[in-house]
Structure 1
């Protein structure tokens, strides 16, 4: 047999073997297609899904990923945030469909019940995954988010229905802002949420690059969505980290009581207040945050 013919046959056999072998492998993040989220992976080890908050990007997890190796991190980017195309998040709800997409991502990639960590809106999404897809994850960490954000926008006894006019007004204001007003609002908001000055620029950049309509829709959804009735469906170990808001008159004791009451249906949850931090705990108290994540990931069921 001529050498050229033999070489071609060997190459063809190698190609067919590679194709057949790949069919036996689990799907990768690159093969997962979605119009609501994009996911990148870093590291090796047990799977951990990281979900950023409203108008944010995976940059919020950069220091954590570097400081806590030994895991395969799946970094979620919500479509419409931080300069990414809006996709299907252009209309209707955002958080709930994103939660369903993350559950689908876990299934498509054959992940074995990963841990989920969500900041702010990402915490809401994490709670939705845990309550609505209870077999998808092994444990949940919520970073500075209540199960009913609307409670912060009204008096005691506020409900999803009673807070809707307030949510409508907030969204109308967001949508009517011109670029200069958006820039000013983003700068002021991030300054109140990030005490570490060096980290503010990136957060402002993500916010300004986020689609205003997607942000408005998602914010409205967060205000009117009450997940407290769903918390009893969460059966995995859960940790909630929180800070004391900068609301005038707010005290440590008052915030502790608010979180304890809000998460009462989540049996066995670990609630921990992080002192001397604003909303972005991963930046303002990075070492303590990383320590808490290590402890969380080391939990046994």
Structure 2
């Protein structure tokens, strides 16, 4: 009798543990798809995008690299994770992913928000990654368009943006996405795919992430990065606002200059999606850096 009671208690305990682990897994904000074989590269998409943004990259590198395509919950999909600081949790999960899977000094490549996350992860885990590539992502992007803004003064802007985006109607969200992508991708035929990713994204998650980009300044952490960094920048989309290639280069360099080993390259004509607008130049420079 006593033996049966103990047996059922053990079964109940196992079920509780299983349920706890299931809840925990559901709370994870990132998942990955692994393609190819070779030296590991982790690819992180940008705001309101999905791993499919790297499709051309995958075709070029899958025969020589093991590509870990990161999918963030709520980006390019309607899912919604819960986190007080969404991007910080994603950064922490990226670091944990490399450690748990025992990846040997992977290169981390991120676009825009993904580049920001890559720089942040490398600063907080300086011995985990081998190289960092940021495609038009900097430690604190708001200052590029709003000189003098700080994470503190941006709180009001952040709050308004988070609320506005989370309450946007589907029609308004689509129109907004089309307008934004037109200013981010110069190559017109590349736009619909990225617009669709944005439409499929969870507006509450994107609103929160945008807000956090305004209130998270990681410039003071850049001197902690101990691995080589390559940053691709763009300027052409901002020419109508008075920006020049030289002014954008200086603004970006000011944010990166405390990184011990880095290289900044500014595209000639590409908009924000540099790998779409100047692919030959992008992949040539990337190959040089990786090799």
So what's the TM-score if we normalise by structure 2?
Answer: 0.87
Distance 1:34 1:107 in 2: 19
**Cα displacement (A) at 1:60:** 1.4
Match of 2:72 in 1: 78
1:153–1:166 CA contact under 8 A, matched in 2: no
Higher Cα Rg, which structure: 1
In the other structure, the counterpart of 1:223 is: 214
Unaligned runs of 5+ in 2: 1-24
Q: Name the residue aligned to 1:95.
A: 87
SS in 2 for 1:77: strand
Mark the CA change 1:47 to 1:84 in structure 2 (over 3 Å): closer, same or farther: farther
Secondary structure, counterpart of 1:72 in structure 2:
strand
Deviation of 1:240 after TM superposition, in Å, equals: 0.6
**Number of the residue aligned with 1:114:** 106
Query: What are the within-5 Å matches in structure 2 for residues 1-301 of structure 1?
Result: 35-68=28-61, 69-83=63-77, 85-88=79-82, 91-156=83-148, 158-244=149-235, 246-247=237-238, 248-298=241-291
Distance 1:287 1:168 in 2: 40
Q: Render the CA deviation track for 1:187-211: whole Å, top value 9, x for unaligned.
A: 1111111111111111011000000
Asked whether the equivalents of residues 60 and 282 of structure 1 are also in contact (C-alpha less than 8 Å), the reply is no
Q: Take 1:34 and 1:139, find their aligned partners in 2: how far apart are those partners?
A: 29
Task: Using the TM superposition, give the Cα deviation of residue 152 of structure 1 relative to its aligned residue in structure 2, in angstroms.
Answer: 3.2
Contact 1:67 1:290 in 2 (8 A): no
DSSP 3-state at the match of 2:154: helix
Change (3 A) 1:51 1:286: same
The 1:84–1:170 alpha-carbon spacing in structure 2 relative to 1, beyond 3 Å, is closer
- Corresponding residue of 1:8: none
- Distance in 1 (alpha carbons) for counterparts of 2:85 and 2:47: 13
8 A Cα contact 1:106 1:136, kept in partner: yes
Q: Distance in 1 between matches of 2:115 and 2:84?
A: 20
Q: Secondary structure at the match of 1:160?
A: coil
Does the CA contact (< 8 Å) of 2:127 and 2:226 recur in 1?
Answer: no
| Alpha-carbon shift at residue 73 of structure 1 (Å) | 0.5
Kindly report structure 1 stretches of 4+ aligned residues shifted beyond 3 Å. Answer: none
Give the deviation of 1:287 after TM superposition.
Answer: 1.6
Unaligned runs of 5+ in 1: 1-31
Determine the C-alpha separation between the residues in 2 that align with 1:98 and 1:245. Answer: 30
Quote the offset at 1:154 in angstroms: 2.8
Aligned length: 264
